[in-house]
Amino acid sequence: MQTLSETSQLSRSHSLALKIGAVIAANILLIASAKVQIAFWPVPMTMQTLVVVGLGLALGFRLGLAAIGLYLIEGMLGFPVFAGTPERGIGLAYMVGPTGGYLIGFALATAMIGLMADRGFARGLVGTTIAVLLGHVVILAAGAAWLASIGGWQMAWLAGTLPFLPGTALKSAIAALLGSHLGRLRRSLR
């Protein structure tokens, strides 16, 4: 027969294993979402930002950032986790290239949406939609700012923001509709 202390310890171990599994699964989903391109207008679309905003909703602040952090560390070490990276990856050189701002935006958006979700703001369709839209704005703004430092604001807008707006709108709608399901997952990981 187990004592109360042993039962509590077993419960904490199970909870930790569940959280680690969620971070690893989220990391795998993020990598897969970077590799799949969908024909869309005016540019092909990956599902990466959908997964990024979904991580904030599903995992919250701490676990969401852990999943994004793991992804960025893998990329920095040269694993081919990013969209468009060759089979062997190119590590830090890719991260400081034109997509660096978007990668920073991934972490910022996940943190912001995770905090909103953890604090109960991203509940219901309206709250979730606001959180997702703000997350996408953060990603696009970070990416555009980084691109502007390389080639100016006009290039950042025309090449790094404007072409992605239709896909971003679609992914925002999908994430908002999935929000309540993702929130249940986050609450089960507490």
Structural domain harbouring 126 = 4-188
Residue 38: φ, ψ to 5° = -115, 130
SS3 per residue for the chain:
CCCHHHHHHHHHHHHHHHHHHHHHHHHHHHHHHHHCEECCCCCCEECHHHHHHHHHHHHHHHHHHHHHHHHHHHHHCCCCCCCCCCCCCCCHHHHCCCCHHHHHHHHHHHHHHHHHHHCCCCCHHHHHHHHHHHHHHHHHHHHHHHHHHHHCHHHHHHHHCHHHHHHHHHHHHHHHHHHHHHHHHHHHCC
Query: Does the pLDDT of residue 8 top 70, yes or no?
Result: no
CA separation for the pair 66, 62 (Å, rounded): 6
How many domains is the chain built from? 1
Q: What is the mean pLDDT of the chain?
A: 89
CATH of the domain at 53: 1.10.1760.20
Q: Which pLDDT does position 5 carry in this prediction?
A: 60
Task: Pull the structure tokens for residue 65.
Answer: 């950032």
Q: Are 30 and 75 in contact (CB under 8 A)?
A: no
Q: Are 67 and 23 in contact (CB under 8 A)?
A: yes
Q: Which pLDDT does position 10 carry in this prediction?
A: 53
What pLDDT, in 10s, does the model give residues 83-120? Answer: 888 776 788 888 998 989 999 999 999 999 999 999 99
Task: Pull the structure tokens for residue 81.
Answer: 């986790």
Q: Which pLDDT does position 122 carry in this prediction?
A: 85
pTM > 0.75: yes or no:
yes
What pLDDT, in 10s, does the model give residues 45-86? Answer: 899 999 999 999 999 999 999 999 999 999 999 999 998 887
